[in-house]
Amino acid sequence: MKNAKLALKTTPEAATTPVQLAPGLAFGAEELVLIGGPCAVENLEQMEAVAAGLRASPVQALRGGAFKPRTSPYSFQGLGVEGLQILQQVGRRYQMPIVTEVMAVSQIPDVVAHADMLQIGSRNMQNFDLLKAVGETDKPVLLKRGLAATLEEFVGAAEYVLSRGNPHVVLCERGIRSFDTFTRNVLDLGAVVVLKQLTHLPVIVDPSHAAGKWELVAPLAKAAIAAGADGLIVECHPQPDQSVSDARQALSVDAMAQLAGDLQPIAAAVGRTLSTVDGTAQLAA
Ligand code: PEP
Ligand code: MN
C-alpha cells in the first residue's frame, strides 16, 4: 500500500480516527453507529414510518437512496431531489442524521445541501472524479467497497478523498463477487479486520447487500460487530415485500429495531456500546 499515505496508521494498535456524523455521534468511537432505512426513498409516509419505528431503538441514523444505481435503466431510478427533500424533512423531525448516495459530480451540491453523509456506492468506488469532488467537500463520506475491489484498490479510493482535503472517510465492507451465487455477494469479514489494523479510518459493514436475503442479515450483522466493525448500515422497509428495490434483502422495521437491541451483548463483549435513545423525546415541528 505504498501509495496510501493518509489512510494508513503506523502500528496495528494505533487508534481509529473518529469521523463525526452529528453532534455527539461519531464513527470509530466507543459507541457503535447503526444506520437503518430503505434501499430507496419511495415517499414521505414510508420514511416517516421507518424513522418512527427506529427512533426508540439504538439505530441513530437513517439511510435511503434518492439517486439509485440500478442494473437496468428501466428500473426505478430514485426520486432525485424530491427524495433528498423527504430525507431532510424526516431527518430533522426525528433528529436522525441522513446518509444517502451521490452518484455523480453534478449531484454533489444537492446532496450536500440535504444530507449529513455522502455515500459513494460500490459501482462508483473507482470513479476518481467523483472521489476527488467529494474530497473537496467537508461532509463525511461513506465509501463502499467495489464489487470486485481488492483492499489495495479500496484504500487507494479512500486516499483520493483524503488527499483532496476531506479527512472524514468511513469505509464500508458490503460483500464482494465470488463464484457462489447462493448469497448475493460474499461478506468479507477478514477485510474488516485488515482495514482496522491497516488504516486509522472507521470501518462499517453492510450485511444487506452482502447477503441479498433478509434472513441472513441479522447473523451477519452480529458477526460484523464481533469482528470489530464500528457500525452497520442495514436496509429495512415498513412493508419489505413492497420495496421498489432490494425487497428480498429488506428487514421489517420491527426486525431492524429488534436486531439493534440484540447486538447489545455482542457490543459489550468487544468493548463497545450501543446508544440508548429516549423514545419519548419531543419531535421537532
Ligand atoms: C445501496 O446502499 O443501496 C447500494 C446500492 O449499495 P452498493 O453500492 O453497496 O451496492
Ligand atoms: Mn439497496
Residue boundaries of the structural domains of the chain: 27-274
Question: In the chain, what percentage of residues exceed pLDDT 90?
Answer: 94
> Contact at 8 Å (CB) between 213 and 248?
yes
pLDDT of residue 176: 98
Taking the model in full, what pTM does it have?
0.97
- Pairwise CA distance, residues 4 & 159, whole Å: 6
162 CA distance to ligand 2 middle (Å): 26
- Ligand 1 first shell, C-beta below 6 A: 39, 65, 69, 121-123, 144, 174, 206, 209
Best substitution site from 125, 209, 243 to test ligand 1's pocket, by max atoms within 8 Å of Cβ? 209
Confidence of residue 278 (pLDDT cuts 50, 70, 90): low
> Contact at 8 Å (CB) between 218 and 236?
no
Instruction: Supply the DSSP string of 17-71, one letter for each residue.
Output: PPEEEETTEEETSSB-EEEEE-SB---HHHHHHHHHHHTTTT--EEE-BSS---S
Best substitution site from 42, 62, 122, 217 to test ligand 1's pocket, by max atoms within 8 Å of Cβ? 122
Query: Is pLDDT at 280 greater than 50 in this prediction?
Result: no
**Mean pLDDT calculated for residue range 212-221:** 98
Query: Is pLDDT at 123 greater than 80 in this prediction?
Result: yes
Q: Which of 270, 256, 271 is nearest to 223 (CA)?
A: 270
- Pairwise CA distance, residues 83 & 63, whole Å: 11
Query: Is pLDDT at 223 greater than 80 in this prediction?
Result: yes
Cell numbers 482495514: residue: 195
Query: How far separated are the first and last CA of the chain, in Å rounded?
Result: 49
Confidence of residue 284 (pLDDT cuts 50, 70, 90): low
pLDDT of residue 238: 98
- Name which residue sits closest to atom 6 of ligand 1, judged by CA: 121
* pLDDT tens digits, one per residue of 245-271: 999 999 999 999 999 999 999 999 999
pLDDT of residue 281: 44
Atom number in ligand 1 closest to CA 122? 8
Cα 77 to Cα 81, 101, 112: the distances in Å are 12, 12, 20
- Name which residue sits closest to atom 3 of ligand 1, judged by CA: 39
Query: Is pLDDT at 29 greater than 50 in this prediction?
Result: yes
Question: In the chain, what percentage of residues exceed pLDDT 70?
Answer: 97
- Pairwise CA distance, residues 3 & 62, whole Å: 34
- Pairwise CA distance, residues 274 & 265, whole Å: 10
pLDDT of residue 2: 81
> Contact at 8 Å (CB) between 66 and 42?
no
For residue 257, which amino acid is it?
A
Class of domain 27-274: alpha beta
- Higher-confidence residue of 180 and 281: namely 180
Query: Is pLDDT at 42 greater than 70 in this prediction?
Result: yes
Query: Is pLDDT at 125 greater than 90 in this prediction?
Result: yes
Residue 196 Cα to chain centre, angstroms = 16
40 CA distance to ligand 2 middle (Å): 7
Mean pLDDT (the chain) is 96
pLDDT of residue 276: 72
